[in-house]
């Protein structure tokens, strides 16, 4: 910058920042939360997902008490929405139990976890969530497996 003559340097700096601004805007990806379509879309996916789990003979026995109690089901769905909203960079705050405490003693096996993820993928596919967004969401949930699964 020592070689600036008069205002030429300042003008050059302005030109560089103005011309690169739209480019930077394109490069920076929106949050996963926004790309999923925000809280309403997440709630719709959770509704569909829980419906699929309830109909999934491989794992629905785990959810018998939850499905049979509307108030409990509502709280459960609300917790899932907040959890996904927060994990995807949204404005929500998950207030439920940590995953280890929430699933302790249920005896969930690795295959149960995979079945539940399949149901989630089915719900995401129904709403035509893109492959990139799906991968990112599943990538955020995958590390929870070791806290949830108790049996091989």
Q: Which residues bind ligand HEM (CB under 6 A)?
A: 59, 62-63, 66, 72, 76, 79-80, 83, 96-97, 102-103, 106, 108, 112-113, 116, 141, 144, 148
Q: How far is the CB of 37 from ligand HEM (least distance, A)?
A: 19
Find where tokens 């490069």 sit. Answer: 27
Q: How far is the CB of 70 from ligand HEM (least distance, A)?
A: 11
Nearer to ligand HEM, 33 or 113 (CB): 113
**CA-CA distance, 22 to 8, in Å (whole number)?**
23
- Count how many Cα atoms sit within 13 Å of the Cα of residue 55 in the half-sphere of its side chain: 10
Find where tokens 């929430």 sit. Answer: 102
Residue with nearest beta carbon to ligand HEM: 96
Nearer to ligand HEM, 44 or 54 (CB): 54
Nearer to ligand HEM, 44 or 117 (CB): 117
Q: How far is the CB of 149 from ligand HEM (least distance, A)?
A: 7
Structural tokens at position 10: 């300042």
**CA-CA distance, 66 to 69, in Å (whole number)?**
6
Nearer to ligand HEM, 54 or 144 (CB): 144
Q: How far is the CB of 22 from ligand HEM (least distance, A)?
A: 37
Instruction: Report in angstroms the alpha-carbon separations of 105 from 42, 55, 81, 99, 108.
Output: 28, 23, 24, 12, 8
Beta strands in 11-139 (DSSP E): none
Nearer to ligand HEM, 97 or 132 (CB): 97
Pick from 20, 79, 24: nearest CA to 49: 79
Q: How far is the CB of 133 from ligand HEM (least distance, A)?
A: 16
């Amino acid at each position: 910058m020592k070689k600036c003559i008069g205002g030429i340097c300042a003008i050059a700096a302005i030109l560089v920042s103005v011309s690169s601004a739209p480019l930077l805007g394109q490069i920076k990806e929106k949050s996963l939360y926004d790309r999923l379509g925000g809280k309403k879309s997440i709630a719709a996916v959770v509704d569909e997902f829980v419906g699929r789990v309830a109909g999934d003979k491989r794992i629905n026995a785990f959810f018998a008490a939850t499905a049979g109690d509307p108030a409990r089901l509502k709280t459960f769905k609300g917790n899932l929405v907040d959890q996904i909203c927060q994990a995807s960079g949204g404005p929500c705050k998950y207030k439920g139990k940590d995953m280890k405490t929430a699933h302790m003693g249920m005896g969930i096996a690795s295959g149960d976890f995979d079945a539940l993820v399949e149901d989630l993928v089915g719900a995401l596919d129904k709403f035509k969530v893109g492959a990139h967004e799906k991968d990112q969401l599943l990538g955020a949930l995958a590390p929870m497996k070791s806290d949830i699964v108790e049996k091989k």
